[in-house]
Amino acid sequence: MLGQVKKLVPPDFPARFGAWWDGRDYAPPADMEDAPAAQEAAEPAPAEAAPPRPKPAPDRVGPPVSAAPLRIRALEALWGEGRFTPGSDTLDRMLLDAAFETADGTGSIGFIGADPALLSACRGRSDRPIHACEWRAGCTGRVGELLPGLAVEQADVDRPRGLPEGGLAALVSFDAFAYADHKAGLATRAFKALGPSGRWVAVDTVRHTKKTPPEPFASAFAEPMLGSIEETEDVLRLAGFRSVRRESLTQTVLEAAARRYQAFAVALEDAVREAVADPGGALFLQELTWEAHAWRARMRALSGGALSLEMWVADKGEGGAKPAADAADPLFDPA
């Protein structure tokens, strides 16, 4: 296994990563024993191609390493403990401010796809019951580990379970529309879970191109099915939400991601050293490299306008219209 790790992580890996991040050519130190080989390894890959996932070592001793925990460890190594995507205290506060702005004195708070850091911030702000739903394999266990006593329901993203019908004062979701196959069904369930004056704070990635750029999602848990801003707003209104407004979070997330990349570059040598001593180190580094590459591409897409990250605030309102999604899709079973 150590040999496999060394193949993945040459001695000059931190320096090569820094050159890749800064967009400059890498020149190995003159005293490197294998400078020609290092230079060859540093040849930049085409911008549109993500690095291939290396195969696990065939001679590994013992039970196979579970991919899910290693993946979560890699995400947290890049984005910080309790975070599965770029985030910050500022972003958490923005989302919770929007969620609690109209919440009355009763009702619980629901989350779809929230990372432990945001759930912890909500716990620290209010003693309201929290109902969390998670669709990504591996994330459920980590939420329970970091937040003991918080129940998390595992379910498909477009069929979230564990949300009490009519019992939520607010619902916060992350990229639920982006990965939902049945977007109208997702909106119908969210509408029914909210109380009469409930609010849905939906944070979602949308595309501004005809097709979703594949490279930014090379490390995603599932294949994204991104819609446009107009399509998302149409689904919200058809579901029965009386008021829908939107705010861009693109710049806020780009800044959070840039800060984490800088911190990651500083801590990279420690991460590599720990991985070398870990039986699952090769797979951990594989996931870490994959995530770093894919999110670097996503940052370029966000900066260039191919993608954007938006926050919709959709209010149900007293006497909100009956959701239209049931009638629009007779095959959809809301139960």
Domains of the chain: which residue ranges?
89-251+306-318
Identify which has the larger pLDDT, 218 or 110.
Answer: 110
163: tokens are: 């949300």
In this structure, what DSSP letter does residue 10 have?
A: -
**Count of helix runs (H) and strand runs (E) in the chain:** 13, 7
Identify which has the larger pLDDT, 232 or 222.
Answer: 232
Measured CA to CA, the distance from residue 116 to residue 146 in angstroms comes to 7
Identify which has the larger pLDDT, 12 or 51.
Answer: 12
Question: pTM of this prediction?
Answer: 0.77
Measured CA to CA, the distance from residue 11 to residue 254 in angstroms comes to 30
CA neighbours closer than 13 Å in the CB half-sphere of residue 101: 14
In the three-class reduction of DSSP (H, G, I as helix; E, B as strand; rest coil), residue 130 is classed as: strand
pLDDT at residue 120, as a whole number = 96
Helix, strand and coil content of the chain, in percent to the nearest 5, comes to: 45, 15, 40
| Total residue length of the chain | 335
pLDDT, tens only, 249-261: 999 999 999 999 9
pLDDT, tens only, 42-77: 344 444 444 444 443 333 333 334 445 788 988 998
Secondary structure, 3-state, 43-71: CCCCCCCCCCCCCCCCCCCCCCCCHHHHH
CA nearest neighbour of 203 among 329, 312, 110: 312
pLDDT at residue 58, as a whole number = 35
Secondary structure, 3-state, 210-233: CCCCCHHHCCCCCCCCCCCHHHHH
In this structure, what are the phi and psi dihedrals at residue 195, rounded to the nearest 5 degrees?
Answer: -70, 180
Q: How confident is the model at residue 35 (pLDDT cuts 50, 70, 90)?
A: very low
Contact between 44 and 272 under an 8 Å Cβ cutoff? The reply is: no
Largest pairwise CA distance in the chain: 74
- pLDDT above 70: percentage of residues in the chain: 73
Q: What is the CATH number of domain 89-251+306-318?
A: 3.40.50.150
Contact between 170 and 109 under an 8 Å Cβ cutoff? The reply is: yes
pLDDT, tens only, 183-193: 999 999 999 99
Measured CA to CA, the distance from residue 320 to residue 322 in angstroms comes to 7
Measured CA to CA, the distance from residue 308 to residue 250 in angstroms comes to 6
Measured CA to CA, the distance from residue 214 to residue 228 in angstroms comes to 16
pLDDT at residue 146, as a whole number = 92
CA nearest neighbour of 171 among 181, 179, 162: 162
